[in-house]
């Protein structure tokens, strides 16, 4: 079975690399002997079509995990085709010194999830072939502290692959101030972990502007979309700086709030001063920057803004919007 799958994947890769135009699923099904033997020619029974579609999607994902860059192209009549351009799948010779190899080996240790761990292991094997010095142990001890990046969001892996392959996506996203999610169509650029949360930076097609999305607010599945990017991808995607400014990290003034005792510990960690008011309330002074109103809304009735008045008004407006649904 393993040999049959490997042969099927090899034939699919050769078809995608050898074509000069995008090939549809039907054309690939009729061109690869393993598909014909298992399911017959294209446009067969609905059951065989469904089984073929599932196998084809698995095979395509397996090839992408192996490093093949597969493009999805939508024709003028709406038919989806696939190809793997040779210039996108050709790498220059790789040479690594001991320090560079150790850094990449350490990066491979960061991923803790099972599927990513397998990909990291495969990448290290490729590094060995590309010149990773034999005396470098990428899994060896590098100190008492080890970097770990937790990934709990189901949207992480499909978005990571979409960023790598430059594939537009669609997903349902619930803003902090909204009661219900809404669909977003995004050209993903990069993912970054900041303060324990994963964020996606990309081009929001609906709003025609750059946006940053917190993965924990993505609901449902991330769906791939055909076609190419419509906006240029920046050379440097500043996810962290954008999120920091929206979260109020870039602040040039202060705000005074009342916070219920025993609540809002993230706010307490940011506060420059805390004063007990009694009756179960404290008064805090926190840095005030762009996005602080959206953050305060997340704490609901545990927070009351005292000043400035413009911040209080923004928070009240957001709460009213949520109440209206």
Q: What is the mean pLDDT of residues 43-61?
A: 81
Residue 84 burial (C-beta neighbours within 10 Å; 0-12, 13-18, 19+): buried
pLDDT score at 249 = 54
Name the percent of the chain in helix, strand, coil, to the closest 5: 40, 25, 35
Q: What are phi and psi of 315, to 5 degrees?
A: -65, -45
Q: pLDDT class for 128, splitting at 50, 70, 90?
A: low
What does each C-alpha distance from 232 to 26, 187, 236, 237 come to in angstroms? Answer: 32, 10, 12, 11
Q: What is the edge-to-edge ordering of all strands in the sheet holding 169-173?
A: 209-214, 197-204, 182-194, 169-173, 218-224
Helix (H) or strand (E) holding 311: helix 309-324
In angstroms, the first-to-last Cα distance of the chain is 53
pLDDT 10s digits, 158-208: 998 899 889 999 999 988 667 788 999 999 998 887 766 788 989 999 999
Quick check: helix, strand or coil at residue 325? coil
Task: From residue 308, give the alpha-carbon distance in Å to each of 254, 264, 291.
Answer: 8, 20, 14
Helix (H, G, I), strand (E, B) or coil at 151: coil
Query: Residues 26-33: contacts with CB within 8 Å, 24+ apart?
Result: 28/56, 28/82, 29/56, 32/8
pLDDT over 50 at 114, yes or no: no
Counting Cα atoms < 13 Å in the Cβ hemisphere of 283 gives 9
* Domain boundaries, given as residue ranges, for the chain: 1-123, 165-247, 253-324
Res. 145 pLDDT band, cuts 50 70 90:
very low
* Pairwise CA distance, residues 220 & 225, whole Å: 16
Strand partners, 275: 283
**Around 99, how many Cα atoms within 13 Å sit in the side-chain half-sphere?**
0
Those residues whose C-beta lies under 8 Å from the C-beta of residue 296, and which sit 6 or more positions away, are 257, 267, 303, 305, 311, 315
Percent of the chain residues topping a pLDDT of 70: 73
Residue 153 is encoded by which pair of tokens? 């969001």
**Overall average pLDDT of the 141-158 stretch:** 65
CATH class of 165-247: mainly beta
Name the strand (E) or helix (H) holding 283: strand 281-289
For residues 196 and 248, what is the distance between their CA atoms, to the nearest angstrom?
17
Q: Is the pLDDT of residue 126 over 70?
A: no
């Amino acid at each position: 079975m393993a040999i049959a799958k490997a042969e099927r994947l090899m034939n699919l890769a050769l078809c995608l690399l050898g074509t000069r135009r995008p090939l549809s699923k039907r054309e690939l099904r009729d061109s690869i002997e393993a598909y014909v033997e298992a399911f017959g020619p294209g446009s067969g029974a609905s059951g065989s079509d469904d089984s073929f579609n599932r196998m084809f999607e698995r095979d395509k994902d397996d090839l992408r995990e192996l490093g093949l860059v597969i493009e999805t192209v939508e024709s003028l009549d709406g038919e989806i085709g696939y190809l793997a351009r040779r210039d996108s799948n050709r790498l220059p010779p790789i040479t690594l010194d001991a320090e560079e190899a150790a850094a990449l080996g350490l990066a491979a240790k960061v991923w803790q999830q099972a599927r990513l761990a397998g990909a990291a292991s495969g990448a290290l094997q490729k590094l060995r072939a590309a010149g990773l010095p034999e005396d470098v142990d990428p899994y060896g001890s590098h100190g008492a502290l080890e970097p770990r990046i937790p990934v709990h969001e189901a949207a992480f892996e499909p978005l990571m692959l979409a960023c790598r392959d430059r594939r537009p996506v669609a997903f349902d996203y619930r803003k902090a101030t909204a009661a219900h999610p809404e669909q977003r169509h995004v050209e993903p650029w990069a993912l970054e972990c900041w303060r324990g949360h994963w964020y996606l930076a990309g081009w929001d097609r609906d709003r025609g502007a750059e946006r940053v999305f917190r993965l924990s607010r993505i609901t449902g599945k991330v769906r791939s979309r055909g076609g190419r990017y419509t906006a240029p991808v920046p050379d440097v995607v500043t996810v962290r700086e954008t999120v920091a400014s929206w979260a109020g990290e870039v602040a040039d003034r202060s705000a005074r709030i009342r916070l219920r005792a025993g609540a809002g510990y993230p706010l307490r960690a940011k506060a420059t001063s805390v004063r007990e008011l009694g009756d179960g309330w404290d008064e805090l002074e926190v840095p005030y920057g762009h996005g602080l109103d959206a953050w305060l809304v997340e704490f609901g009735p545990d927070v009351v803004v005292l000043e400035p008045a413009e911040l209080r008004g923004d928070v009240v407006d957001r709460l009213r919007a949520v109440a209206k649904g």
